[in-house]
Protein backbone atom coordinates (compact mmCIF):
# COMPACT_ATOMS: atom_id res chain seq x y z
CA UNK A 1 0.00 0.00 0.00
CA UNK A 2 2.92 2.31 0.65
CA UNK A 3 4.22 1.76 -2.90
CA UNK A 4 0.80 2.57 -4.28
CA UNK A 5 0.69 5.77 -2.25
CA UNK A 6 4.16 6.77 -3.53
CA UNK A 7 3.01 6.22 -7.15
CA UNK A 8 -0.03 8.42 -6.63
CA UNK A 9 2.09 11.10 -5.01
CA UNK A 10 4.66 11.13 -7.84
CA UNK A 11 1.90 11.14 -10.42
CA UNK A 12 0.18 14.00 -8.65
CA UNK A 13 3.46 15.92 -8.42
CA UNK A 14 4.14 15.48 -12.15
CA UNK A 15 0.67 16.66 -13.25
CA UNK A 16 0.78 19.60 -10.94
CA UNK A 17 3.83 20.90 -12.80
CA UNK A 18 1.94 21.18 -16.16
CA UNK A 19 -0.25 24.27 -16.37
CA UNK A 20 -3.87 23.37 -17.10
CA UNK A 21 -3.95 25.49 -20.30
CA UNK A 22 -0.95 23.74 -21.95
CA UNK A 23 -2.88 20.75 -23.41
CA UNK A 24 -5.50 23.16 -24.78
CA UNK A 25 -2.77 25.31 -26.32
CA UNK A 26 -1.06 22.29 -27.91
CA UNK A 27 -4.36 21.04 -29.32
CA UNK A 28 -5.21 24.46 -30.77
CA UNK A 29 -1.73 24.85 -32.28
CA UNK A 30 -1.99 21.40 -33.86
CA UNK A 31 -5.40 22.22 -35.35
CA UNK A 32 -4.15 25.52 -36.74
CA UNK A 33 -1.07 23.89 -38.27
CA UNK A 34 -3.22 21.14 -39.80
CA UNK A 35 -5.63 23.71 -41.26
CA UNK A 36 -2.77 25.81 -42.65
CA UNK A 37 -1.05 22.82 -44.26
CA UNK A 38 -4.33 21.66 -45.78
CA UNK A 39 -5.03 25.11 -47.24
CA UNK A 40 -1.49 25.23 -48.67
CA UNK A 41 -2.09 21.85 -50.33
CA UNK A 42 -5.33 23.15 -51.83
CA UNK A 43 -3.63 26.30 -53.14
CA UNK A 44 -0.84 24.23 -54.66
CA UNK A 45 -3.33 21.88 -56.30
CA UNK A 46 -5.33 24.82 -57.70
CA UNK A 47 -2.14 26.46 -59.03
CA UNK A 48 -1.02 23.18 -60.61
CA UNK A 49 -4.41 22.77 -62.30
CA UNK A 50 -4.32 26.35 -63.60
CA UNK A 51 -0.79 25.83 -64.92
CA UNK A 52 -1.87 22.63 -66.69
CA UNK A 53 -4.76 24.44 -68.41
CA UNK A 54 -2.39 27.25 -69.37
CA UNK A 55 0.14 24.77 -70.75
CA UNK A 56 -2.53 23.01 -72.84
CA UNK A 57 -3.77 26.33 -74.24
CA UNK A 58 -0.25 27.46 -75.15
CA UNK A 59 0.75 24.19 -76.80
CA UNK A 60 -2.52 24.18 -78.73
CA UNK A 61 -1.61 27.67 -79.96
CA UNK A 62 1.83 26.41 -81.00
CA UNK A 63 0.14 23.68 -83.08
CA UNK A 64 -2.04 26.29 -84.76
CA UNK A 65 1.02 28.40 -85.59
CA UNK A 66 2.79 25.33 -86.94
CA UNK A 67 -0.16 24.50 -89.22
CA UNK A 68 -0.28 28.09 -90.51
CA UNK A 69 3.46 28.14 -91.18
CA UNK A 70 3.26 24.82 -93.03
CA UNK A 71 1.07 26.56 -95.63
CA UNK A 72 3.38 29.52 -96.13
CA UNK A 73 5.77 29.72 -99.07
CA UNK A 74 9.37 30.08 -97.87
CA UNK A 75 12.22 31.37 -100.01
CA UNK A 76 9.89 31.62 -103.03
CA UNK A 77 9.08 27.89 -102.80
CA UNK A 78 5.63 26.40 -102.39
CA UNK A 79 4.85 24.81 -99.06
CA UNK A 80 6.57 21.43 -98.87
CA UNK A 81 4.23 19.77 -96.36
CA UNK A 82 1.07 21.81 -95.84
CA UNK A 83 -1.19 20.92 -92.94
CA UNK A 84 -4.86 21.72 -92.64
CA UNK A 85 -5.47 24.82 -90.56
CA UNK A 86 -8.31 24.39 -88.09
CA UNK A 87 -9.82 27.84 -87.47
CA UNK A 88 -11.85 26.53 -84.55
CA UNK A 89 -8.68 25.23 -82.88
CA UNK A 90 -7.18 28.70 -83.32
CA UNK A 91 -10.28 30.28 -81.77
CA UNK A 92 -10.23 27.80 -78.90
CA UNK A 93 -6.54 28.47 -78.25
CA UNK A 94 -7.21 32.22 -78.36
CA UNK A 95 -10.10 31.90 -75.88
CA UNK A 96 -8.16 29.63 -73.54
CA UNK A 97 -5.16 31.94 -73.53
CA UNK A 98 -7.44 34.90 -72.74
CA UNK A 99 -8.73 33.01 -69.72
CA UNK A 100 -5.69 31.14 -68.40
CA UNK A 101 -2.66 33.26 -69.36
CA UNK A 102 -1.44 36.00 -67.08
CA UNK A 103 0.37 38.27 -69.56
CA UNK A 104 -1.44 40.20 -72.34
CA UNK A 105 1.77 40.11 -74.39
CA UNK A 106 1.20 36.38 -74.91
CA UNK A 107 -1.95 36.97 -76.92
CA UNK A 108 -0.28 39.79 -78.87
CA UNK A 109 2.65 37.53 -79.74
CA UNK A 110 0.23 34.78 -80.85
CA UNK A 111 -1.55 37.19 -83.17
CA UNK A 112 1.75 38.52 -84.51
CA UNK A 113 3.04 35.00 -85.16
CA UNK A 114 -0.14 34.18 -87.11
CA UNK A 115 -0.07 37.44 -89.04
CA UNK A 116 -3.52 38.46 -87.81
CA UNK A 117 -4.54 42.02 -88.53
CA UNK A 118 -7.59 44.22 -88.26
CA UNK A 119 -8.46 45.90 -91.59
CA UNK A 120 -10.36 48.66 -89.75
CA UNK A 121 -7.32 49.49 -87.62
CA UNK A 122 -4.24 48.39 -89.58
CA UNK A 123 -3.45 49.94 -92.97
CA UNK A 124 -1.30 47.07 -94.20
CA UNK A 125 -2.07 43.40 -93.88
CA UNK A 126 0.54 41.38 -92.12
CA UNK A 127 1.81 37.90 -92.75
CA UNK A 128 2.97 35.21 -90.36
CA UNK A 129 6.13 36.43 -88.72
CA UNK A 130 9.09 34.31 -87.70
CA UNK A 131 10.02 37.04 -85.24
CA UNK A 132 6.50 36.74 -83.86
CA UNK A 133 6.95 32.97 -83.55
CA UNK A 134 10.15 33.44 -81.52
CA UNK A 135 8.42 36.09 -79.44
CA UNK A 136 5.50 33.72 -78.80
CA UNK A 137 7.86 30.92 -77.72
CA UNK A 138 9.48 33.29 -75.23
CA UNK A 139 6.05 34.23 -73.90
CA UNK A 140 5.14 30.54 -73.56
CA UNK A 141 8.23 30.02 -71.40
CA UNK A 142 7.39 33.12 -69.35
CA UNK A 143 3.79 31.98 -68.84
CA UNK A 144 4.96 28.58 -67.63
CA UNK A 145 7.65 30.04 -65.34
CA UNK A 146 10.40 28.41 -67.39
CA UNK A 147 13.76 29.77 -68.53
CA UNK A 148 13.87 31.36 -71.97
CA UNK A 149 13.87 28.91 -74.90
CA UNK A 150 17.26 27.78 -76.12
CA UNK A 151 18.47 28.00 -79.69
CA UNK A 152 16.78 31.29 -80.52
CA UNK A 153 18.43 31.92 -83.87
CA UNK A 154 16.55 34.04 -86.43
CA UNK A 155 17.95 31.81 -89.19
CA UNK A 156 16.50 28.64 -87.66
CA UNK A 157 13.09 29.47 -86.28
CA UNK A 158 10.88 26.87 -87.90
CA UNK A 159 11.46 23.56 -89.71
CA UNK A 160 9.88 23.92 -93.12
CA UNK A 161 11.26 20.73 -94.64
CA UNK A 162 13.60 17.84 -93.98
CA UNK A 163 15.38 15.54 -96.39
CA UNK A 164 13.28 12.41 -96.76
CA UNK A 165 10.19 14.01 -95.20
CA UNK A 166 6.83 12.80 -96.42
- The domain spans of the chain are 50-143
C-alpha to C-alpha distance for 8 and 1, rounded to whole angstroms: 11
The larger pLDDT score, comparing residue 82 to residue 100, is at 100
- As a whole number, mean pLDDT of residues 96-107 equals 95
Residues sharing a CB contact under 8 Å with residue 141, sequence separation 6 or more, in sequence order: 147, 148, 149
pLDDT at 131: 81
Q: What is the mean pLDDT of the chain?
A: 81
pTM of the model: 0.68
pLDDT at 153: 67
The larger pLDDT score, comparing residue 61 to residue 24, is at 61
Least confident of 8-12, 101-105, 123-127, 140-144: 8-12
Confidence of residue 164 (pLDDT cuts 50, 70, 90): low
Q: Helix 104-114 vs helix 22-70: angle between axes, to the nearest 10 degrees? A: 10
Amino acid sequence: MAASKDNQTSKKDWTSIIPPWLPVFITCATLIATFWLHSQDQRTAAHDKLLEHRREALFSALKVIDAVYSNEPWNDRSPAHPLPVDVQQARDADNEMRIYCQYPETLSAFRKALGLWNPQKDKVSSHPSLDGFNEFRMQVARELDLPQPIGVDPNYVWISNLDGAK
